[in-house]
Amino acid sequence: MILEYLKAILIGIVEGLTEWLPVSSTGHMILVESLFPFERMSENFYGMFLYVIQLAAILAVIVYFFEKLNPFSRKKTEAEKKSTWTIWWRVLIGILPAGIIGILLDDWVEETVIASDFGNMVVAAALLGYGILFILIERLRKNKPFQTDAVEKLTWKNALFIGFFQCLSIIPGTSRSGSTILGGMSLGVSRSAAAEYSFFMAIPIMLGVSLLKVGKYALRAAAQEPGYACTTDEIGLLAVASAVSFLVSLLAIRFLMEFVRRHSFEVFGWYRIGLGLLVLLYFGLLV
């Protein structure tokens, strides 16, 4: 059982890091699941398990940016409170496209693409494609000033455009944060503002999806459907992975915000290309 807990810690670390860095959590999870599968966790519980540790990662964003996102803070002036409401309005506009398209296509993508024989190929292609895009956009924007340096300065049109760009993240391997950041930078949004906007949009989107998936599992478990009962071992593994995901997410968010103030995203582009090639090699897709 100790080995199972070590696997839970590893998955919590991978989730906490890759959910917020623009490197695709899906691509990493595919490799981790293949190399270190759980032996004491049912397939149905594992599907729910992944969404619960996402909730822990989201909680880290809320904690890290709580003061900035709290429009009722007594520490803020009226102007600062107004600016905070502006951020939330931009987030609302940005999540509309992804929310609608995600609801319509999420199950189809999961059943048709992820579960298909070519699912790993799609993930690898997305890793490579986005890696190339990160390198290109950084080189095209080299030494050029950014037009927007804060989330609250985004226009509603820019927020909507980034929201549509985020819809590409429904393709496994693209990365939700990667899509948002690429969309923002293509409009001249600074790296730090694009990263922050990515974090902020994740709160309602991931919170909604995760709660929906967990709720469906809970209802089936309550109805005593076969394969939906939880064991104490599974609950223990879930608690450990969630705690690790939360703590690592806090560190990952802090790292990324500090990193982009001094460096470009090009290194993530090269990392994605390397990971994409690794996925192809591991699953024998590269001839």
Mean pLDDT for the chain overall: 87
Backbone φ and ψ of 148, nearest 5°:
-130, 120
User: What pLDDT score does 227 carry?
Assistant: 76
User: What pLDDT score does 105 carry?
Assistant: 66
Encode pLDDT of 190-248 as tens digits: 999 999 999 999 898 888 878 888 888 888 878 878 877 788 888 899 999 999 999 99
User: What pLDDT score does 112 carry?
Assistant: 61
- Provide Rg for the chain, Cα atoms: 19
User: What pLDDT score does 266 carry?
Assistant: 92
Question: Domain segments of the chain: what residues?
Answer: 2-282
> What's the rounded Cα separation, in Å, for the pair 46 and 158?
37
Cβ atoms within 10 A of the Cβ of 218, count? 13
User: What pLDDT score does 152 carry?
Assistant: 92
Q: How far is CA 38 from CA 42, 76, 234, in A?
A: 8, 47, 10
Alpha carbon distance, N-terminus to C-terminus of the chain: 38
User: What pLDDT score does 156 carry?
Assistant: 92
User: What pLDDT score does 184 carry?
Assistant: 92
Residue 131 CB partners (closer than 8 Å, separation 6+): 268, 269, 270, 271, 272, 273, 276
Query: Which parts of the chain have pLDDT scores under 50?
Result: none
> What's the rounded Cα separation, in Å, for the pair 213 and 210?
5
User: What pLDDT score does 101 carry?
Assistant: 76
The answer to whether the beta carbons of residues 25 and 15 sit under 8 Å apart is yes
User: What pLDDT score does 171 carry?
Assistant: 81
* Helix residue ranges, H only, 141-190: 156-166, 176-186
User: What pLDDT score does 118 carry?
Assistant: 63
User: What pLDDT score does 205 carry?
Assistant: 83
Structure token pair of residue 147? 């037009």
Give the residue carrying structure tokens 């981790």. 32
- The residues pairing with 148 across neighbouring beta strands, listed in sequence order, are 189
* Helix residue ranges, H only, 110-231: 119-140, 156-166, 176-186, 191-222
> What's the rounded Cα separation, in Å, for the pair 245 and 239?
10
- Per DSSP, 189 falls in state B
> What's the rounded Cα separation, in Å, for the pair 219 and 34?
29
> What's the rounded Cα separation, in Å, for the pair 232 and 237?
9
User: What pLDDT score does 79 carry?
Assistant: 92
User: What pLDDT score does 198 carry?
Assistant: 92
Closest to 51 (Cα-Cα) out of 225, 206, 233: 206
